[in-house]
Structure 1
Amino acid sequence: MGQITLAGNPLIAVQLRRSARARRLSLRVSRLDGRVTLTLPNAVPEAEGVAFLRAKEAWLRGQLADVSGPVMVGPGARLPVEGVPHEIRTGPGRTVRQEAGVLFVPGPEEQAAARLKGWLRTRARDRLSEASDRYAARLGRGYNRLTLRDTRSRWGSCTHDGGLMYSWRLILGHPQVLDYVAAHEVAHLAHMNHSAAFWQQVEALYGDWRAPRKWLKEHGTELHRYRFD
């Protein structure tokens, strides 16, 4: 992967990526960190890619202006839980308490992020276990284990031996998005591919999956803005 710099104010660093699978030029701006990637099919000269980039400069600068920076989780910050923004405040007690758009976190402020992360992971496991159990029962197939990770490349996966993996950050998004991902991965217990039969199975389990899938594509990276370390 190479890099070029687009002149202007400010300068824009653009990562160049070659792809044997790409059929056309494409320009992508990461909603997480503002990284710009220009993908070129192998047969397209770099000069053509640069010309394409310059033609898209106004659009590109507009996209970069809209990119939000990271959010450090702690008292005073706002954090979504199941799609609803919550203000983080310190509070009494021994566990995190959720009340009408506020998360009260006990203990020293410097430990708030770690406490919230643990609370969110527990909540995510509960919701994802319930959804996976429900869809697996509907499918008539069981799964062997459920694990949570903090992955950026995928929201879930299913292994050949029936293991389900999910990103715990799904708990930050809308409940229907979490439900869709659970249905998607459970459907892989029957179809370890993305064939027409697989998507028919997802629809049979979940219903119309297009809206939550579109939301993840357009807004999913926003869930990685929240930093807990």
Structure 2
Amino acid sequence: MDQSELEFESNQLVAPVSISVGAIDPEEDELPAEPALLVHPEASHSARLQGREVAYLLRRSERRSIGFSVGQQGLEVTAPQWVAMREIESALQTKAGWIVRKLQEAGQRQQIKLEARILWQDGGVLDYLGQPMSLRLTGDASQLLRTRQTHREQGIDGSQSLHLPLPTGAPPAQVRAAVQVWILREARSYFTARMLHFAALMGVRWNALRLTSASTRWGSANSSGIIRLNWRLMQHSPQIIDYVVVHELAHLHHMDHSPQFWAVVAQVLPDWKHLRRALRDRPLPVWE
């Protein structure tokens, strides 16, 4: 869901001999000037960028340029099969400022997630439609399930709480599962209403809505009119949800991110850049 990408055009015209510059050396005992940045769990190479040790995953592909992608796991570098390591190292140094900045931002987002863990218990808090919502376990499940289902209440002060027909000592996994079932049901209803609203404004028709729990994207669309939205969007504000909905519906006009695509988005949401930035800058806590 949180990912930055950058492409670097290669000037190499012939396939050079590959060298091992940048490969991780287990015998290396030199201490970095500063603590290591976010380390990719499948790292195959490393480089020192602006005094920081950066471990990254290198993928070879048929693409024609060197690409950099910084996501939740760290830095991934994709390069043509024929490009030598010396050129990849040079590209890394050229874009070192961008890479280090994006890795720092990704690390900060991870730290925020860790600090914002949800306590799956009576009195625990999670965001719902961008606002804190407290969890209330209302009693013995065997009795309450027959009379009252999970429901949300909103106070006159704007506070909201989710009441779950579970005993106060219910295991965290049971509380989490009950909350997820409720959010999934609410998400389908909420997303459908927003998609119907914006589809009419944008002159598009969608055929199906599918909820996902993808870890790397908030939504997707295909040429068959199938829209996939991550159910955890329900933790974001209504404005951010609208941005993702409009973004995916706009793909029914243009299956790319061309200027024409963004023009369609801007017709409906003139402040889409602000909303996109807000979505990227506000990571959700780990759902565990």
TM over 0.5: yes
Listed as ranges, the gaps of 5+ residues in structure 1 are: none
Counterpart AA for 1:207: P
- The residue matched to 2:284 in structure 1 has which SS? helix
Checking the alignment, whether the CA contact within 8 Å between 2:118 and 2:126 is kept in structure 1 is no
1:89 alignment partner, one of 122, 132, 136: 136
Q: Distance in 1 between matches of 2:109 and 2:196?
A: 42
Q: Distance in 1 between matches of 2:259 and 2:76?
A: 30
- Quote the RMSD (CA, aligned, Å): 3.6
Q: Distance in 2 between matches of 1:61 and 1:174?
A: 21
- The residue matched to 2:278 in structure 1 has which SS? helix
1:210 alignment partner, one of 245, 265, 273: 273
Is residue 37 from structure 1 mapped to residue 75 from structure 2 by the alignment? yes
Change (3 A) 1:207 1:112: same
Change (3 A) 1:73 1:166: farther
Residue 146 of structure 1, CA deviation: 0.6
- The residue matched to 1:146 in structure 2 has which SS? strand
Change (3 A) 1:167 1:197: same
Counterpart AA for 1:37: L
Identity of matched residues, %: 25
Checking the alignment, whether the CA contact within 8 Å between 1:132 and 1:182 is kept in structure 2 is yes
Change (3 A) 1:11 1:183: closer
1:98 alignment partner, one of 129, 136, 153: 153
Identify the residue that residue 226 of structure 1 maps to in structure 2.
Answer: 287
Question: If the length of structure 1 is used for normalisation, what is the TM-score?
Answer: 0.76
Counterpart AA for 2:111: V
Checking the alignment, whether the CA contact within 8 Å between 1:95 and 1:105 is kept in structure 2 is yes
- The residue matched to 2:191 in structure 1 has which SS? helix
1:1-229 superposed matches below 5 A: 7=31, 13-14=39-40, 15=43, 16-18=56-58, 21-22=65-66, 28=70, 30=72, 35-37=73-75, 39=77, 45=86, 60=104, 63=107, 67-68=111-112, 69=114, 71-75=117-121, 76-91=123-138, 93-99=148-154, 100-108=159-167, 109-110=170-171, 111-219=174-282, 222-223=283-284, 225-227=286-288
Residue 4 of structure 1, CA deviation: 7.3
- The residue matched to 1:226 in structure 2 has which SS? coil
Question: Number of matched residues?
Answer: 216
Deviations along 1:120-155, whole A, 9 cap, x unmatched?
A: 112211221111101111122211111101012211
Residue 87 of structure 1, CA deviation: 2.2
Listed as ranges, the gaps of 5+ residues in structure 2 are: 1-22, 44-55, 140-147
Deviations along 1:76-112, whole A, 9 cap, x unmatched?
A: 3320001111222212542233332332222142322
Structure having the larger proportion of residues in helix: 1
Larger radius of gyration: 2
Deviations along 1:35-78, whole A, 9 cap, x unmatched?
A: 4436486555477769x69xx69x95994697131724511332
Q: Distance in 1 between matches of 2:76 and 2:36?
A: 16
Change (3 A) 1:162 1:91: same
